[in-house]
A and B are shown apart, each in its own frame.
Chain A
Amino acid sequence: MNWSLPENVSTFGAQVDSIYYLILGITAVIFFAVEALLVYFIIRYRHREGRKAAHIHGNTRAEVIWTLIPFLIVLFLAFRSRAVWMEVKDPARVPPGALELRVAAKQFEWNVTYPGPDERLGTADDFVRRGQLRIPVNRPVRVTLASEDVIHSFFLPEFRVKQDAVPGMEIPVWFQATRTGEFTLGCAELCGLGHYRMRGTVTVYTAEEFDAWQREQSRAGLAAAN
């Protein structure tokens, strides 16, 4: 068994992963302790002729102990998780200076609208790419996620990003890449018979590459429209 998560390439991903490994550690200890005890008891107290089991109904102190300890552990985990969760999902915590994109999901495509060189959505130099999410490295990206038909789920495994795209809602998602390269964009919510093909590519460019690409695409788009 390989319990490690795949490579992480987003800024907050490391914190997400650390919570995962923390829970993995705690649950692994509990798992081995409980299962070992179970096996030990089964062997140690297996039936032998002439032996009678102890007549014990319980022990209040033991109950209190094994109620309190798990309670404290889970509260600790909830407390640790909450901080990371809010950093990832709270719309008010998107870092400033983010690149604004719009991702419209539809059966079975991700259509990404880029703002063009003016960095503003809703202007003439916007352009749309199907299934291609291209972003600059080391810069926050704020995606406004929408859906045109059913519920999809915007899943960037290497970025530790997942957010359902719900028709009728515009949901902000942010992330920041820590290295350049090609990564996966997938749909994680059953959205119909083409669900398994609703995929795309995330390409992380350097800032210069991204600007050049965006300028060129935008110019080509404007030329085609005229």
Chain B
Amino acid sequence: MLELRDSVVVLSAGLLLVGCGAGDSAGGGGEAAAAGEETAAAAAAVDPTTVGTISGRIAFEGTPPAGTPIDMSEEPTCAAKHPGGARTEEVVVDGSGGLKNVFVYIKEGLSGGPYPPPAGSPVLDQNGCLYEPHVLGLRVGQSLTIRNSDGLLHNINAKPTANRTFNISQPTKMETTRSFAVPEVMIPVECDVHGWMRAYIGVVDHPYFAVSAADGTFQIANVPPGTYTIETWHERYGTQTVQVTVAAQQTADVQVTYREQMAQNAVVPLGQPIHLHDHPAGAAAGGR
């Protein structure tokens, strides 16, 4: 039953020479394989005595745009949680120029595992009609706890392209768990009740990822020695890659700088509120 759509698409594609379902049907097959890899992982594969650390900082050059003020007057419960008024969190830069909410992960160079199994269940909290955190990293198959701390209706509309989409609701204070079957950077998550609410989830099939903190710093620990391609992702300023070599028991330093002009790489177009009139092109219509 669950694979109905896929089979119908493949069937119809064959009949009508429409190729639109190819990516979709691949998703179904990959799930089982990826999950198997994860559970078979043995911690011993990575020698704990030789691992190193990647740490660094994401800097921002230029004048960061101020977030758009959010009109929460129709949701008094949420408005009360932001006495100074809330703003959207596309670009958060601290006094020292550190850029928050950049997803950093090893894109290439890993031997392919096995890796230690994912521990715990990261929380995506909906608090004060905002997602906390705004950017989140997750392992393939790892359980994501979605929490509603507001006690009013939120819906969680995840719009991945490689994974299965889901759109579920939380009408009251509650928790729900979900997971993603294949790697995908990044998966936008939206609440349609509160159009300004948006989070991004980076799903990778290894444990070597981080999200930059308020001062722009990040740290990826227990990395086996080797040379890697690191990718950094920011919703407005796009992606950058750097090469880094990790030596045993050493800390490799990575410095990445985003500039104001990079806004053309934006995941979300600049200059308009992200929520009001546009769903990202194609995502809502979801070509199947």
User: Could you list which residues of chain A lie within 8 angstroms of chain B, going by C-beta atoms?
Assistant: 104, 106-109, 111, 128-132, 148-149, 192-194, 196-198, 200-201, 224
Contacts and interface: CB of A to CB of B under 8 A. Distances in A.
Contacts of A196: 153
B193 interface: yes
B169 A148 contact: no
21 contacts: A104-B277, A106-B192, A106-B195, A107-B193, A108-B155, A111-B276, A128-B276, A130-B71, A130-B276, A132-B74, A148-B278, A148-B279, A193-B169, A194-B153, A194-B192, A194-B193, A196-B153, A197-B152, A197-B193, A201-B74, A224-B68
Given A109-B193, A194-B153, A149 B71 contact: no
A109 B75 CA distance: 12
**Which residue, of A148, A194, A198, has the highest number of chain B Cβ atoms within 10 A?**
A194
Q: Is the interface of A mostly helix, strand, loop or mixed?
A: mixed
**Which residue, of A109, A132, A198, A201, has the highest number of chain B Cβ atoms within 10 A?**
A109
Interface of B: 66, 68-69, 71, 73-74, 152-153, 155, 167-169, 192-195, 273, 276-279, 284
4 nearest A-B residue pairs (beta carbon): A107-B192, A131-B74, A193-B169, A194-B193
A148 B283 CA distance: 13
A206 to B, nearest CB: 20
Contacts of A198: 193
A198 B75 CA distance: 12
Q: Is the interface of B mostly helix, strand, loop or mixed?
A: loop
**Which residue, of B153, B192, B273, has the highest number of chain A Cβ atoms within 10 A?**
B192
A193 B74 CA distance: 19
Contacts of B74: 130-132, 200-201
Nearest to B67: A224
Contacts of B279: 148-149
B73 A108 contact: no
B155 A193 contact: yes
A200 B71 CA distance: 13
A97 to B, nearest CB: 28
A111 B276 CA distance: 7
B192 A108 contact: yes
Contact of A104 (B71, B73, B276): B276
**Which residue, of A107, A128, A198, A201, has the highest number of chain B Cβ atoms within 10 A?**
A107
B167 to A, nearest CB: 7
A104 B278 CA distance: 11
A128 B69 CA distance: 12
Contacts of B192: 106-109, 192, 194
A108 B75 CA distance: 13
Contact of B169 (A128, A194, A200): A194
Contacts of B69: 224
A151 to B, nearest CB: 15
A193 B167 CA distance: 9
Nearest to B167: A193
Given A104-B277, A193-B167, A193-B169, A129 B71 contact: yes
A149 B155 contact: no
A194 B195 CA distance: 12
Contacts of A107: 192-193
Given A106-B277, A128-B276, A132-B74, 7 more contacts: A104-B276, A108-B192, A109-B192, A130-B195, A149-B284, A193-B168, A197-B152
Contacts of B153: 194, 196-197
Nearest to A201: B74
B73 A132 contact: yes
A192 B279 CA distance: 16
Contacts of A128: 273, 276
B14 to A, nearest CB: 31
A86 to B, nearest CB: 32
Nearest to B194: A109
Contacts of A149: 279, 284
